[in-house]
Amino acid sequence: MPGIKAVAERAGLSIATVSRALNGKGNVSARSRELARTAAAELGFVPSYHASSLASGRNHNVGVVVPFVHRWYFSAVLEGVSAALLDAGYDLTLYNVSVGQERRQSVLNDFLLRKRVDAVIAVSLKLSAAEIQQLLAIHRPIVGIGGPLPGTSTIRIDDAGIAQAATRHLIQLGHTKIAHLTGGSAYERDFRLPGTRQAGFQKAMTDAGLAIRPEWQVSADFTIQGGYTTARQLLGGSADRPTAVFAASDEMAIGTILAARDFGLSVPHDISVIGIDGHELGEVFGLTTIDQDARGQGALAVGLLLEGLDGAGGAGAAGAAGAAGAADTEYPTKLLIRSSTAVPPGNTEPQR
């Protein structure tokens, strides 16, 4: 099999240029990249990634640790991560730690320490100081998505702030009887997302001088089915029902819309519904939501990791650089007003 030297001679380029062109790394002109690829194809040359890893000290592999893979947010983040890594010529190794504390500890204290990955993306996992230091000690940079991880770069949204914004949207339309569909206690384990969004809801209600009714603060599991089941109990219990529901996820909001239809309630004329996420199904249901662009968060996490790796010249150096240059990034969100929210029954003018 021909080697890289033969490819370089046929392409009329240096061996170093051919190596960078075929690995997709470094500053190589489009013409040189095309010459190298054409020569490699003509000669049947296949780059040795094992040799490349030995030479560079990198595995061109990023480990992604998630608590769930079957929830929309996590799968959407993974889509963004995967696409960005593929574009950069990196592999992805997925670690799912949903099955108890033992699985989590096995991943964090064993698999990631085998040095088969160049960097780690932790999605909605609150790592202990000891866990973070153990990873940084082997010079593997970490980017966290979903909340602060001391000593690492992190990407997060303002969960309390967007919950307030969602609730204020309903209040500004004239709603005073507002319910909140939050997540169950199982989702409080890491960054306490349900409690944080519930606190934002309560602050917006209190700031507006509105009553917060305990029986209208109910929980589900962030799924359509869970939201549907809980919303049926909320809306079918008595004639005194809320005129609006703020759900802590789009899937629970969609479940609420489906439950409302069961009782002959029209959305938004009888009841308004708003969620948080930017789920693809939101457009189908006309759901007003706050879009957090989960795919964009995943892509940004990859960008931060690769900047550190490329800037430091290797995985080992990048680990130290990642810790020293750790930054907390608040990812922008956007209110998308659709047809699921309107002024409450009997009102003709929204509040100013």
pLDDT tens over the chain, length 352 residues: 678 888 899 999 988 788 778 876 656 888 988 999 899 888 888 765 544 544 445 678 999 999 888 889 999 999 999 999 988 888 999 988 876 677 777 777 777 767 688 889 999 887 778 877 777 776 778 899 988 788 788 999 999 999 999 999 999 999 999 999 998 766 666 558 899 999 999 999 999 999 999 999 999 999 999 999 999 999 987 778 999 999 999 999 999 999 999 999 999 999 999 999 999 999 999 999 999 999 999 999 999 988 877 655 444 434 433 444 578 899 999 999 999 999 998 776 656 5
Pairing of strands 334-336, 288-291: antiparallel
Q: Could you tell me the pTM of the whole model?
A: 0.80
Residues in Cβ contact with 113 at an 8 Å cutoff, skipping those fewer than 6 apart = 134, 135, 138
Domains detected in the chain: 4-47 (no CATH), 59-157+294-331 (3.40.50.2300), 159-291 (3.40.50.2300)
Alpha helical stretches, state H, the chain: 4-11, 15-23, 30-43, 49-56, 72-87, 100-106, 129-137, 159-172, 193-207, 224-236, 250-262, 281-284, 294-312, 315-324
